[in-house]
Amino acid sequence: MDLQANSTFMLSLTFDQTTWPASITKCLDDKDLEEGIVHLTDNLDAIAGDKDFRNWGTWLADNVKGTHNRTFYFKPLLDKIKDRYDYVFIDTPPATDIKVDNIMVATDYVVVVQETKRFAFEGSKDLTSSYLQTLYNDFNDEINIQVAGILLVLLDKNHSVEQRIVKKNDRIFWQREYIWSNN
């Protein structure tokens, strides 16, 4: 569900997958994730991402009435297939909009991928505190989101600013539990 569809591109190259039966956007439009599933190996299935996903928020606004229904559009579609899998990974755009809201309310765990840069660190703090707290405040009995971790990427071990960001991540994220409440 990432707009760049990098995961789809890499899976296509890795598994010589030249055609996909349906993109995630078409699956969502048709209310059927099953139509897009491609069996790549005994341990890996995938649904192709596509650049049209960028328009999905507008599609939801135009076609689904009510904030709750728009926010929870994806969840019942995922619920129909998720029991077949040990894990379902969803690559999301770096945003906090209705598209990402749909993914978050349907998931149990969130892994935040963060570059070791100042603004990325601030964004991770905002996502794990303010954004997820807002979702919990709005839908507390209907969601069960836990932060599974912060995955630091593109780290330059020799850069002192990046080392400070790593230490801040350690202090902020690993020394507290994320339990959202109605407070």
102 within a domain of the structure (yes/no):
no
Structure tokens at 125: 């703090």
Question: Of 95, 121, 142, which residue sits at a domain end?
Answer: 95
Residue 68 is predicted with a pLDDT of 96
Report the helix count and the strand count for the chain, using DSSP H and E. Answer: 9, 4
Tell me, yes or no, if the pTM score tops 0.85: no
How many other C-beta atoms can be found within 10 angstroms of the C-beta atom of residue 38? Answer: 18
Same domain, 84 and 132: no
Structure confidence at residue 175 (pLDDT): 59
One domain for residues 181 and 128: yes
Do 27 and 85 fall into the same domain? yes
pLDDT tens digits, 22-47 = 999 999 999 999 999 999 999 999 99
| Residue 24: predicted pLDDT | 95
Domain check: are 9 and 80 in the same one?
yes
Q: Which pLDDT value is given to residue 144? A: 87
Query: Which parts of the chain register pLDDT below 70?
Result: 174-183
**Domain of residue 115, residue span:** 108-183
Specify if 5 maps to a domain: yes
What is the pLDDT at residue 139?
Answer: 92
* Residue 28 shares a structural domain with residue 2: yes
Q: Any idea what the CATH number is for the domain that residue 33 is in?
A: 3.40.50.300
**Do 90 and 3 share a structural domain?**
yes
Q: Is residue 103 assigned to a domain?
A: no
Q: Which of 67, 95, 123 marks a domain boundary?
A: 95
Residues in the chain: 183
| Contact residues for 14 (Cβ-Cβ < 8 A; gap 6+) | none
| Number of independent structural domains in the chain | 2
